[in-house]
Amino acid sequence: MDFNAELKTLQTSVIELQAENQGLKEHLEAAERELRLVRDVPKVAFAVSLGGNGLQKTTSGSKTLIYKDILTNIGQAYNSETGMFTAPVRGVYYIRFTANAPTNFPMSAVLYKNGIQIQLIAHEQPSGEGSDTASNGAALLLEQGDTLSLQLWHNTQIWDNSNHHSTFSGFLLFPM
């Protein structure tokens, strides 16, 4: 039996196992880093409605809508005192809103980002008996601290009750 040859074979096997072990260690560390990133992503989702049992109307200037009935507010990014959603992290958010109102007067809900209208609008002209419903939504890239709110345009109305016809909602799709 050639002990030197067997020793060299064992040494080669140990070196190969050490290299394989190092590769597995690096792969595990990379997976742990990815898992930490996913775990550390803030959980952000909100759904609110105007609630109440009445009509909101403006005939002199625009009016910020305050959605008081909170259906979901994971991450506490929606403020029911101001009607503002504040993005806690830079990322892509899906935002959606609906509006309902009697058909005897124009209806609107207009999305504003950082106080500036961004052309996501739900709007209907008077159309006779009954009520109208409109909705809009989009995926938006928001920077950390960006705010979103909905406003009524001048000379329009919106209505809600406990059935949550007029809503504002959104959630973080992914951080950037």
Q: Tell me, what's the pLDDT at 92?
A: 97
Mean pLDDT of all residues in 155-174: 91
Sign of the four-CA dihedral 95, 149, 117, 158? positive
Provide the greatest CA pair distance for the chain. 103
- What residue spans of 71-161 are helical by DSSP H? none
Pairing relation of β-strands 107-113 and 63-64? unpaired
Asked if residue 172 has pLDDT above 80, the reply is yes
Mean pLDDT of all residues in 150-168: 90
Q: Tell me, what's the pLDDT at 90?
A: 96
Residue 66 φ/ψ, nearest 5 degrees = -110, 110
- Return the higher-pLDDT residue of 57 and 144: 144
Say which range, 43-47, 98-102, 117-121, has the weakest mean pLDDT: 117-121
The pTM of the full predicted model, rounded to 2 decimals, is 0.77
As its CATH architecture, domain 45-175 has: Sandwich (2.60)
Asked if residue 89 has pLDDT above 90, the reply is yes
What residues does 107 pair with on adjacent strands?
124, 157
Mean pLDDT of all residues in 100-113: 88
Of 46, 82, 87, give the one whose Cα is nearest residue 64.
Answer: 82
What is the average pLDDT score of the chain?
89
Asked if residue 155 has pLDDT above 80, the reply is yes
Determine what percent of the chain is predicted with pLDDT higher than 70: 99
Q: Can you tell me the distance from the alpha carbon of 86 to that of 3, in angstroms, rounded to the nearest whole number?
A: 72
Q: Tell me, what's the pLDDT at 5?
A: 83
